[in-house]
Structure 1
């Protein structure tokens, strides 16, 4: 699979267009292999001030998730979750950010 196909698969597993509408996610970037996206920077919108969410596919066919708080030129790693299975992506996203992925 190409990095674009992997990124599209991850977005679909997160909830696709409903995920985008519910979270306000934007600035999607296909990683090698994975997906990076930005979340709204409004104060108190996202838990712990998280503004960037990265999902990376591992060789074990699980995901490593990293959340970042970015303000200007300062980037701070907030949390890392390893060995996340595809069916856990939505619940882990909600746990880390406080945002629901669907109604």
Structure 2
């Protein structure tokens, strides 16, 4: 057996910043959001993003994806994704562009009905 420490999960810095603007761990606890997935900036992906699953809410969406745009604003997508015959089907899509970091929490609350903090 090796005593080497387990590898740490890779942190995508831009996605971490997005999560912090939403409220960080308090946001995750208050909203029940989970299964976070992120992509950082690369040659093939110029716009980093953060995606998460959401619990049942008033908008009937189960996913949210926040993409950092070149204008230093965010594109926020709320949608419902289900598998039908192993193919993803998207419905209830709502897209908000030119969203500032300070407005992320209020937008989340207005769409889902969940508070992001106490």
Task: Give the TM-score category using the shorter length.
Answer: 0.7 to 0.9
How much has 1:76 moved relative to structure 2?
1.5
Gaps of at least 5 residues in structure 2 are: 1-10, 41-47
Residue pairs, 1:21-32, within 5 angstroms = 21-32=29-40
Aligned to 1:61: 72
Greater Cα shift, 48-57 or 25-34: 25-34
Task: Report which of the two has the higher share of helix.
Answer: 1
Deviations 1:12-64 (A, max 9, x none): 00000110000101110113401000012xxxx31221100000000000000
Runs of 4+ that moved beyond 4 A: none
Q: Of the two, which has the highest radius of gyration?
A: 2
How much has 1:71 moved relative to structure 2?
2.6
The 2-side partners of 1:95 and 1:82 are apart by: 15
Residue pairs, 1:13-92, within 5 angstroms = 13-32=21-40, 33-40=48-55, 45-73=56-84, 74-92=89-107
Q: SS at 1:65's partner residue?
A: strand
Q: SS at 1:56's partner residue?
A: strand
Alignment length, in residue pairs?
A: 97
Gaps of at least 5 residues in structure 1 are: none
Contact 2:23–2:116, Cα closer than 8 Å, also in 1: yes
